[in-house]
Every structure is written in structure tokens, then in C-alpha cells.
Chain A
Amino acid sequence: MEHLQNQVVRAIKKFRMFPRSEKILLAVSGGKDSLALWDMLVDMGYSVDGLYIDLGIPEYSDVSGQKTQNFAESRGLVLHEVSLGKTYGVDIGHIARKTKRPSCSVCGVLKRYVMNMVADRHGYFAVATGHNLDDEAAVLMGNVLNWQTEYLQRQSPLLEAKPGMPRKVKPLYRLAERETAAYCVLRGIDYIMHECPKSEGATSFTHKEVLNRLEAESPGSKDHFLLGFLRTAPQLFPQSSSDDGPELQQCTRCGQLTTAEECGFCRQMARAGLDSLALFDSSVSPERN
């Protein structure tokens, strides 16, 4: 267990993710990775609050929300909650149907938006997510297979803050998901084991399967693939002043920074016939103790 925490400490130090003095917002799903990370960071003395986004998915969101609330309550931790179902009376599938886009893509837009919104509103230094070694190696494999150099260039466990967008960090990138699951067992953390039903058939599963077959044949393959990439990436993609990306402006509807007149989230919600600003007003954020 100490080894697992040491890997997280190493990740935080290597990328100078956040100092102990700053307040961190952790996106929590009720799954093994985010709850293990929350437990580790709090145990190591970091100040970490949780953010749970209820996507209103029948028979899934209720359970994942309950596990998250139980974890936070049992440890006296602060949990922000934003609920799609309670705000609009719809689930993520409704928006996917209306916008004719895959649920995982709609979910990605919504989650990034809410994370930025809550972190900005409450002044968090960084947003942490529970992406682990397997997640990141699978994404890397997908990006390499499709030669998406733009995405490869951005791959790092640390994304620097921009105005209105907090720093994003992934302190679990050195830990395999087998290790975070084992950590939960050892610490008695009750997490949701079922997968999000909307992720069924996702290509990330295929990439993970291939990587795990390689790992079984040749232990250390996943580590070499991802950590080797991270060591090599600075030479492959040297930073230049033009790497800052396109110029950002304020969304005319919600005020968040975007490359277009209206941000992707507001456009997505408008296409689904929903008021994007309502989500702001309905989020529940308890006071810190």
C-alpha cells in the first residue's frame, strides 16, 4: 500500500502538480480510481474536495452517487454535486439523442465544463481526475493508431491553467487499475464495480484488452509504453510560442472561455433544448468545515 502511495507522490513531484498548501478539486465517480485517489491524497495530508456529476443514468447514477456520498460522509469530506437529472429531468442519453452525438462525447463536454465551472467558482488550484496507467496507455494507443499528433502533443499528466480554466492533473498515471482496485480492497473502500452502461463497446476497452495481453506476455509493457512516451514527448514535440492554441474569448451565453462565439457546452445544451445556465444555479456546494 505504501508503494502505491509512493507512486502517487512521485507523480505529483515529477510534474509539480500541486503543493500541499493548495486546495484541490477531485472529480469523483464512485469508482475505484477516484475514490482510491481521494483516500490517498487525504491520507497524505492534501486538502481535497470532491465533485460528483450525476448524469441521470437509470440504475447506475443512483448507485455511483450513493457510493460517493457514503465515502465523503464517512470521512467528513466536502462534496460538490451537480445533477443533470435533478436540473433538467433528463439523462445524458437524452442529450446524445437530441444532438445525434455519442453519449461518451456528450459526457466529455459536460464534465469538462462542470469541472472548470466549479473549480473557477470556488477558487481551486487544480482539478484532479482518477485516470490511471491503463486509461492513459489506452488513449495513447488510440492516438498513435490514428496518428493524432495534435492530441499526442498535449498528452501529459499536467495541463497548465488558462484564464477561467484550472490546471488539470492526473496523479494516478503511474498506477495500473489492478493496483487501484487492490488499494480499495485493502482500505475497505466500497466502490461501484459496474461499468457505466453508456461506455459499452467503447474502443478504449479494445485498446486495454490488447495492452493487457501484451502485459501478460511481457510484464512491464504498459509502463514502458506510457512512461517511455512521457520521457520522449518533450523531444518529439518541443514547446514553441505557437503551441498556446487558438485565441480564446468569452462565451456570449455563459462567459466561459471558448474559441467560438458560444462554448461547446452551451451549443450542446441549446441543441438539446436545454438552458445551459440552469446547471450553474442548481449545483450543490456545501461549506468547508
Chain B
Amino acid sequence: MRVIVLPDRTEKELSGPMRVDRILNELRMNPETVLVLKSGALLTPDQKVDHDEKIEIWPVISGGRGDKRDAM
């Protein structure tokens, strides 16, 4: 399967079928830090991706806003 990692659209190839949680494990990605999409739809950790399919991984972590003085 083709895995496109955003925001830079880095491409990776993995053998399928494979569950989403396993894919993230293979790529050493923490599931808390990404979303996985297929054809624009969100995938859950237990969903399977076939060998001939393409998925996108979107990072969700943003930073630089941790101003302690303005905390909350």
C-alpha cells in the first residue's frame, strides 16, 4: 500500500492488508499524534487497509503556543 505522510507528502510503501494500528506501529507513530485518512474519510485503528490502497497520515500536533504567562 502507498502511505503518504503529510504535510510534506513523504511516500512510504508497506505490504497489506494491515490494520491501521499496526501500520502506525510499523511506522513508529503514536496514534495520539496523527489522523489516518482514506479517500478523505477518517479511519479507525481497527480498520484494514488493502495492499493496493492508498492512505494519508495527517499530523495533529501543533506547538509554540505554550506561553506559561498566558496559560489558560
**Is B14 engaged at the interface, CB distance under 8 Å to the other chain?**
no
Bound state CA distance, A202 and B67, in angstroms? Answer: 10
* CB-based A-B contact count at 8 angstroms: 103
| Bound CA span A144–B40, Å | 40
A181→B35 contact, CB < 8 A? yes
Contact of A181 among B31, B60, B64 (CB under 8 A): B60
Q: Contact between B64 and A198 (Cβ–Cβ < 8 Å)?
A: yes
Chain B interface size band reads 20 to 34
A contacts with B: majority SS? helix
Q: B67 — nearest CB in chain A belongs to which residue?
A: A108
Residues of A contacting B61 in the complex (Cβ-Cβ under 8 angstroms): 134, 177, 205, 208, 212
B68-A173 in contact (CB<8A): no
Q: Is the CB of B63 within 8 A of A154?
A: no
Contacting residue for B64 out of A140, A199, A207, CB 8 A: A199
CA distance A212 to B33 in the complex (A): 7
Contacts of A198 in B (CB 8 A): 64
Contacts A131-B65, A202-B64 given: A151-B7 contact, CB under 8 Å?
A: no
Any B CB within 8 A of the CB of A261 = no
Question: For residue B60, which residues in chain A have a CB less than 8 angstroms away from its CB?
Answer: 32, 177-178, 180-181
A residues less than 8 Å from B64 (CB atoms): 104, 107, 195-196, 198-199, 202, 204
Task: Say how far B57's CB is from chain A's closest CB, in angstroms.
Answer: 11
A94 within 8 A of B: no
Judge whether B63 and A195 touch: CB under 8 Å: yes
Given contacts A182-B35, A193-B7, contact A139 B68 (CB under 8 A): yes
A-B contact pairs, 29 of them (CB 8 A): A104-B64, A108-B69, A112-B70, A135-B65, A136-B71, A139-B67, A140-B71, A142-B66, A151-B68, A155-B72, A157-B72, A168-B70, A177-B61, A178-B34, A178-B60, A181-B35, A181-B60, A182-B42, A193-B6, A193-B58, A193-B59, A195-B62, A195-B63, A199-B63, A202-B64, A207-B66, A208-B61, A208-B63, A212-B30
**Chain B positions near chain A (C-beta within 8 angstroms):** 6-7, 30-35, 37, 40, 42, 58-72
Report, nearest first, the 3 A-B pairs whose CB atoms are least far apart: A199-B64, A204-B66, A181-B60
